[in-house]
Structure 1
């Protein structure tokens, strides 16, 4: 039996994603230093972009769970790696925004909590946003009963 405080559902960044980001940062530094040919500006820009990728990967490692739901409400990522509790009455809408651009389509889960809007993509959730929205609606409906 689960303790009452543990979430009944959670969505997290796929484990391979931070590894890919860290490998990309290492590859970028290696190529940048190899191709910089003494150009300090190019070397500094390469290291700065790689540091950004490392910071992004660290966020994935420090706070892999982006969204959790239980009968009391939602827990969402807030800031770099913090968490914020949203009770179900504070959640005004759960929608999925679909957009097509240049032949590519994207889906974003939108959680409207009145004064705040929380956006999650497929790589934040490790699952399709429309499936997550359906599960959230089910958890919310079950919590009302």
Structure 2
């Protein structure tokens, strides 16, 4: 994602230096800003999922939540096929401290690995039910 942000900034600089029209500079500036924010948010929220013997930690742009294994209700992999394209998602059913439920859905780009493999690793880390 950072590559796109650098390209957008380079494009903006080239437009300014070549004397592009104000509308072109505005559009290029908006594109550079948007890509820069997307790159920063993608970097800020990495890694999206961390797992250990004490539970799961999920990161999003605006929040980070830790759920001990006792509050992880279910971990499942969802295989879907739509418009000729198949995708695999990891679904996590978590309970908040106040009893609220949270469904977290992560795909391969967020996980950095195949969701099936991540689910297997999580199953190995999760303590056996008592």
Q: Bigger CA drift: 21-30 or 63-72?
A: 21-30
| TM-score, structure 1 normalization | 0.68
- Determine which structure has greater relative contact order: mean sequence separation of CA pairs < 8 Å that are 6+ residues apart, divided by chain length: 1
State whether residues 8 and 28 of structure 2, in contact with CA within 8 Å, keep that contact through their aligned partners in structure 1.
no
The equivalent of 2:2 in structure 1 is 19
1:38 aligns with 2:21: yes
**How many equivalent pairs are there?**
123
Deviation at 1:25, TM superposition (A): 3.2
Q: Which 5+ residue runs of structure 2 have no aligned equivalent? A: 96-100
Secondary structure at 1:65's aligned position in 2? coil
| TM-score, structure 2 normalization | 0.74
- Equivalent residue for 1:111, pick from 92, 108, 127: 92
Q: Which 5+ residue runs of structure 1 have no aligned equivalent? A: 1-17
RMSD of aligned Cα (Å):
2.8
Structure of greater Rg: 2
Q: Bigger CA drift: 130-139 or 92-101?
A: 92-101
Q: Bigger CA drift: 51-60 or 19-28?
A: 19-28
Runs (4+) of structure 1 moved beyond 3 Å?
23-33, 42-46
CA distance in 1, matches of 2:31, 2:82: 26
Structure 1 residues 130 and 32: alpha-carbon distance in aligned structure 2, compared to 1, 3 A threshold: farther
Structure 1 residues 55 and 95: alpha-carbon distance in aligned structure 2, compared to 1, 3 A threshold: same
1:56 aligns with 2:42: no
Structure 1 residues 131 and 47: alpha-carbon distance in aligned structure 2, compared to 1, 3 A threshold: same
CA distance in 2, matches of 1:31, 1:86: 48
